[in-house]
């Protein structure tokens, strides 16, 4: 069982306080009029990037995901979403080009199969991931390429009926962590361990070579929608997490 959560609807973006994380979920399937408005929020570079997608649905998902990110950032920063300046780390993690020194806003986003997640916090690195439960023919072979030895052993120990759930639990937690630190898959996936057994709390168990590093992190697992897994990683073990719906 994943953590029990309630997705709250918000008429406006709530105030983000220190030691707090806001997680938002949103559909990436807008109607035609909404899509036009979304496109208008994008920069010229973002619009050009959208046009490079081969499939129309992927293009529309990108436009909507980026427009909603700008809308949320604009609300948190109290500025026009079109004026929010973004920069990207060496591994592609987006960040604000200009930060408030007293309250730096950190964020992350992920999307899969027409659904998006966004995470926002102050002063702390954060990462979020969402994955749709696709049928994987050779799940064990894939796990051998992306899981640590202890994670593979934990997956093997599960009943066959729970292995797909366990796989996606581990995968989203690992993705959330490497996105939080801004390294992406450049950070070896076998250098850290996460929990994956259904019914157990989401945890970053250890980072190999640094026995206390995992203690700085909090992980939360949740169900964004039926047949999806979601996970949050935040470098604040005492953060209060709230869930919101666009």
In a domain, residue 240? The reply is no
What DSSP element (H or E) covers 77?
A: helix 56-77
Helix, coil or strand: residue 177: helix
At residue 137 the predicted structure's pLDDT band, cuts being 50, 70 and 90, is confident
Which residue is associated with the tokens 């980026």?
66
User: CA 116 to CA 224: how far, in whole Å?
Assistant: 9
In a domain, residue 217? The reply is no
CATH number of the domain enclosing 117: 3.90.470.20
32 burial via Cβ count (<10 Å: 0-12, 13-18, 19+): exposed
In a domain, residue 220? The reply is no
The domain of 32 spans 7-128
Bridge-partner residues for 120, per DSSP? Answer: 22, 107
In a domain, residue 221? The reply is no
In a domain, residue 193? The reply is no
Where b means 16+ CB within 10 Å and e means fewer, 137-150 reads: eebeeebeebbbee
Q: pLDDT digit string (tens) for 29-66?
A: 999 999 999 999 999 999 999 999 999 999 999 999 99
| Cα radius of gyration (the chain) | 18
In a domain, residue 186? The reply is no
Do 23 and 219 touch, CB atoms closer than 8 A?
A: no
Percent of the chain with pLDDT over 70: 98
In a domain, residue 1? The reply is no
Mean pLDDT of 94-123: 94
* Confidence at residue 1, expressed as pLDDT on a 0 to 100 scale: 39
pLDDT at 124 over 90: yes
User: CA 189 to CA 127: how far, in whole Å?
Assistant: 15
| β-strands 240-245, 7-9 pairing | parallel
pLDDT at 101 over 90: no
- Which CA distances in Å does 122 have to 22, 192, 237? 10, 25, 14
Do 224 and 230 touch, CB atoms closer than 8 A?
A: yes
At residue 4 the predicted structure's pLDDT band, cuts being 50, 70 and 90, is low
Q: For residue 214, which of 239, 185, 177 has the smallest C-alpha distance?
A: 177
- What is the per-residue DSSP string for 147-174? S-HHHHHHHHTS-GGGHHHHHHHHHHHH
At residue 2 the predicted structure's pLDDT band, cuts being 50, 70 and 90, is very low
DSSP conformational letter for 63:
H
Mean pLDDT (the chain, rounded): 94
Please name the residues in contact with 246: beta carbons below 8 A apart, sequence gap of 6 or more. Answer: 24, 25, 26, 27, 68, 72
In a domain, residue 162? The reply is no
Q: pLDDT digit string (tens) for 192-230?
A: 999 999 999 999 999 999 989 999 999 999 999 999 999
Q: pLDDT digit string (tens) for 155-192?
A: 999 999 999 999 999 999 999 999 999 987 778 999 99
Report how many domains make up the chain: 1
């Amino acid at each position: 069982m994943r953590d029990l959560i309630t997705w709250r609807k918000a008429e406006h973006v709530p105030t983000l306080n220190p030691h707090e994380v806001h997680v938002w979920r949103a559909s990436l399937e807008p109607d035609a009029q909404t899509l036009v408005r979304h496109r208008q929020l994008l920069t010229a570079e973002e619009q050009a990037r959208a046009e490079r997608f081969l499939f129309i649905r992927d293009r529309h998902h990108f436009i909507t995901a980026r427009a909603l990110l700008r809308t949320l950032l604009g609300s948190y920063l109290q500025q026009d979403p079109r004026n929010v300046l973004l920069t990207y780390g060496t591994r592609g993690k987006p960040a604000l080009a200009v930060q408030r020194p007293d309250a730096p806003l950190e964020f992350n986003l992920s999307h899969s199969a027409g659904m998006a997640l966004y995470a926002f916090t102050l002063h702390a690195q954060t990462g979020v991931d969402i994955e749709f439960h696709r049928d994987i023919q050779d799940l064990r072979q894939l796990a051998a390429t992306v899981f640590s030895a202890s994670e593979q052993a934990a997956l093997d120990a599960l009943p066959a009926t729970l292995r797909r759930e366990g796989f996606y639990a581990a995968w989203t937690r690992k993705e959330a962590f490497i996105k939080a630190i801004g390294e992406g898959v450049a950070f070896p996936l076998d250098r850290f361990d996460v929990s994956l057994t259904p019914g157990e709390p989401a945890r970053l168990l250890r980072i190999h070579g640094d026995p206390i590093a995992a203690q700085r992190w909090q992980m939360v697992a949740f169900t964004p929608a039926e047949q999806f897994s979601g996970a949050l990683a935040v470098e604040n073990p005492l953060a209060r997490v709230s869930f919101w719906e666009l």
